[in-house]
Amino acid sequence: MRKTRSMIIVRTLTMEDIPKIIRLQKESFPYMASEGMIWKKGSLRSHIRIFPEGQFLAEYKGEVVGSSSSLIVRIKPKYREHTWLEICGGSKFKNHDPNGDTLYGADVSTHPRHRRLGIATAMYDARKKIAVRLNLKRIVAGGRLFNYCEYAEKLSPEEYVRLVLRGKIREPVLSFQIKNGFKFIKILPDYIHDSRSRNYATFIEWENPRYKRR
């Protein structure tokens, strides 16, 4: 695994990469693509224009296998409920604030044929590095509850998460995020249109251990 991970190249996104990212999104999220919930060309162009250092692409053996999009925001109070559209300011990241204190993880995608290679971990590590370099207080994201649709009739999202954290239910997204140093804060209702998560998301947070008070 370590040797494979060393073969993953993470770099910032360019305008020429946009068609590859759209193709990656369609292959990574076919059900969301069918609902129109993937990046469009204009949105990706906007991300690169306003915050180029926060947009990453992962390559493995010359193939694009992962991407992540992020912006800088300020959330007050720090654990305020929000939706994806509200916090990002729409798909073009109109809420990006260079003077904010929080890196917001808007999206991570990995190619289904290349999962378990450490691609998502490489994306998360790239985000942590940019948060440290820019002296941001933390990284926040709304995480998907990928398997919640299988339990929604008998468990509330809070009950579901409690069982996931206790290792009683397999939930690939949240388990991965916890393993990568994030902590679960609370449930965000009506976060984004996502049938698998029943529109819920987890408010997750990673605190920058090197943050210096401004």
pLDDT digits (tens, 9 = 90+) for 139-161: 999 999 999 999 999 999 999 99
pLDDT for 89 beyond 90:
yes
Is there a contact between 106 and 70 (Cβ–Cβ < 8 Å)? Answer: yes
pLDDT for 4 beyond 70:
no
46-71 confidence digits (pLDDT tens)? 999 999 999 999 999 989 999 999 99
pLDDT for 126 beyond 70:
yes
pLDDT for 36 beyond 60:
yes
| Band of residue 8 on the pLDDT scale cut at 50, 70, 90 | very high
Helix or strand or coil: residue 135? coil
163-205 confidence digits (pLDDT tens)? 999 999 999 999 999 999 999 999 999 999 889 999 999 999 9
Name beta bridge partners: 66: 58, 110
Q: What pLDDT shows up at residue 38?
A: 77
pLDDT for 2 beyond 60:
no
Q: What pLDDT shows up at residue 28?
A: 81
| Band of residue 3 on the pLDDT scale cut at 50, 70, 90 | very low
Domains of the chain: 2-207 (3.40.630.30)
Residue with tokens 């605190």: 207
Q: What contacts 149, CB < 8 A, 6 or more positions away? A: 195, 196, 197, 198
- Once rounded to an integer, what is the mean pLDDT over residues 126-136? 97
> Measured between alpha carbons, how far is 109 from 144 in angstroms, rounded to an integer?
12
Tell me the pTM: 0.92
Name beta bridge partners: 170: none
Q: Which of 152, 146, 157, 142 is nearest to 201 (CA)?
A: 142
Mean pLDDT of the chain: 93
